[in-house]
């Protein structure tokens, strides 16, 4: 009869060199996973933690009211209130300001409502024109022709102490929470 040797597990509490390096590798891999997971988790949860009520909106000045003559439409620029140090000149955003009369204004986003190309104002024809796909808008921002299905997007505005300010930070779109706030404007006479 042959007897097979019985292997009895060692009760020795010492760890082998191989076991030590295995545990050390698992520890370093776990730390690397945490370092990589932290920004990813922060990005994924940013929309929840930021909330939709406030978002990135802030009131920014466009300039004194007297810089915008009645009956004219002028290009104005403002600095996006939420910029990164790497944004540089791209943080300067343009908009079209139309002064109807007195303190009644319309402030349009420069972007076409079709695909976002920048529109230009042509005072000779009284139209905003999009160079990309031929969209046209009347002076009040309503759709005149072309592929856009709606008028230009408007920024909510206020006049305080002779200074025209708009609520900026996010582009005004139909689904934006401030799209309904454009009722802050006084009614056109």
Threshold 0.95, pTM exceeds? no
Q: Is the pLDDT score of 167 beyond 80?
A: yes
In DSSP terms, which residues pair with 108 in a beta bridge? 96, 154
CB 134 within 8 A of CB 147: yes
Which of 109, 110, 92, 102 shows the shortest CA–CA distance to 65? 102
| Tens-place pLDDT, residues 85-138 | 777 777 788 888 888 888 888 888 888 888 878 888 888 888 888 888 888 998
pLDDT tier, 188 (very low <50, low <70, confident <90, very high otherwise): very low
């Amino acid at each position: 009869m042959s007897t097979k040797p019985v292997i009895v597990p060692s009760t020795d509490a010492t760890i082998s060199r191989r076991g030590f390096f295995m545990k050390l590798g698992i520890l370093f891999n776990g730390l690397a996973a945490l370092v990589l997971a932290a920004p990813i988790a922060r990005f994924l949860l940013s929309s929840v933690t930021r909330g939709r009520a406030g978002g990135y909106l802030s009131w920014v000045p466009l300039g004194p009211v007297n810089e915008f003559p009645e009956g004219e439409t002028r290009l104005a620029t403002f600095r996006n209130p939420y910029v990164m140090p790497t944004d540089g000149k791209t943080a300067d955003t343009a908009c079209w300001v139309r002064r109807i009369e007195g303190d009644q204004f319309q402030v349009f986003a420069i972007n076409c409502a079709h695909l976002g190309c920048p529109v230009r104002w042509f005072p000779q024809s009284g139209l905003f024109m999009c160079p990309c796909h031929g969209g046209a808008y009347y002076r009040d921002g309503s759709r005149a022709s072309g592929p856009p299905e709606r008028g230009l997007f408007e920024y909510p505005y206020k006049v305080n102490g002779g200074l025209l300010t708009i609520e900026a930070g996010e582009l005004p779109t139909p689904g934006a929470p401030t799209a309904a706030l454009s009722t802050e404007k006084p009614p056109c006479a």
